[in-house]
Structure 1
Amino acid sequence: MVRGTQLHERLGRLAYGAAVWAGFGFLLLPILLVLWLSFFSNEILSLPPDGYSLRWYTSLVAKREFVDGFGLSLEVAVLATAVGLAVSLPASLVLVRGRFPGREALLNFLMAPLIVPAIVIGAALYIFFIQIEIATDVPLSGSAPGLVGAHVLLTIPWCIRLLTANLVGLDPAIEEAAASLGARAWVVILRVTLPLIWPGLIAAALFAFVVSFGNLEISLFLVAPGETTLPIAILQYLEWKADPTIAAVSTLQVLLIGAGLVATDRIVGLARVI
């Protein structure tokens, strides 16, 4: 009877492990397919390929739309991440440490961009910016501040989620002990709170950067004339061609994001903050 139970448990663990690995394989299959396609030598995608080549990677340097799009996406993502963290950190401290009416409503408001489709946010912001231009003559639509501000809305929910999770796990007695020794509130935050939640800060910065860098919908509405982000450049390229260049660009994006995830996991351990 005991031997039968052990056999049943072993079979259950094997079935569970097989299901997990099958799930991972299903998720990785599209990425591996894109990686494979990026090395095809023929311009028209067909199976089996005529051969393999690195020319799609080397030709990216000469394609200004991708180079310029990468530069603009990187600039906007860095700025949006910095501003998003600057806004989300005090908001998270208030939400976790504060006790006031409307706290849940404020949290739901800050997390709303995760619920509303990005295309709806982009259209709404475009109309809102146009109305501001009409009323004040301040050009926001098609401007860098308008685009960065829109991307900040995308970063705030991720920063709030990760920072609040870290603050909830932080013992308030540590901060109270520092305050009881005469430290002012801002000193407690800078010298005690931030060093203790820095893994959450790094994880929040990484996820905010990824969300902003890969956004397409909001950028379509708010990007300045004559400029383009990398996702828009990819979309525009696909309107006219379907060669492995897009697979090469996508592979580089995956490698960039993957390197960031690995580096973050090595520094702080993603399992601790997610």
Structure 2
Amino acid sequence: MDSPSGAAVFAEGFGVKGPRGWAFRSVDVDAAPGSLIGIQGPSGSGRTCLLLALTGRMRPAAGRAEVGGLALPREMAAVRRISALAHVPGVSDLDPALTVDEHLKERALLRSRYDGSLRELLRPRAERAGALRQRIDAALESAGLDRGGLPKEGRTSVRDLERLEALRLSIALALIGRPRLLAVDDSDLKLSDADRAAAWDLLRSVADAGTTVLAVCGRAQECTSVIRTDVTNVTDAIDTTDTTDVADVTDGEGTADALAEAGRA
């Protein structure tokens, strides 16, 4: 699978507001294609809203932003086409009753049906099936998920996966669409220290391969840029030994309301 060209991410004074207040505001970030961007802060601080807004799935109320040269909110639909979500509760949840292979086959068929060109759809069935297998295998390799190492290989149900394995599967499903921007929520939630390190190794490898990665986390590790959603004063909050770029976010009380609006953006 060819490596996608990552999308540059730029925002200035960016914010989302719900009926009861700001989910986040005053976000500034300027990240080059292929960057690993961490959105760091405690649960409820607007992290998921920011992730959804930067992928064109939540309408901003303030500031301006561009993803891959596409302006938000004017080109939200185009931004959605070049981005993909992984591990976002309530938005891209895995079905615990389905197996790993069922998830992969379903996602690949949907992508080929709705994203493929007419020329692609007219290819012989055997060729299309082979292309689907290659796309799945490439996504699994990029996500570091070895079906052979699972309890029942590809027939393993999602409910039987470890947390890190479920994260890898969710990322593999997102990568099947060959996005320019991969957005991952709760990337290190409830992971052991070893699994957290493995998760960050995975995200860095995806970014190194060319895809820009936007990752919500409790603690960012070796990111190109970091957006903090739990502070209003960057100079007080930043670790002076950390060389990553840190953006300022003023948090509000409207996170839940803004999330409720995401589907209506």
Structure showing the higher strand proportion among its residues:
2
**Shared fold (TM-score greater than 0.5)?**
no
**Larger Rg computed on CA atoms:** 1
Under a length normalisation based on structure 1, what TM-score does the superposition of the two structures give?
0.26
Structure showing the higher helix proportion among its residues:
1
Under a length normalisation based on structure 2, what TM-score does the superposition of the two structures give?
0.26
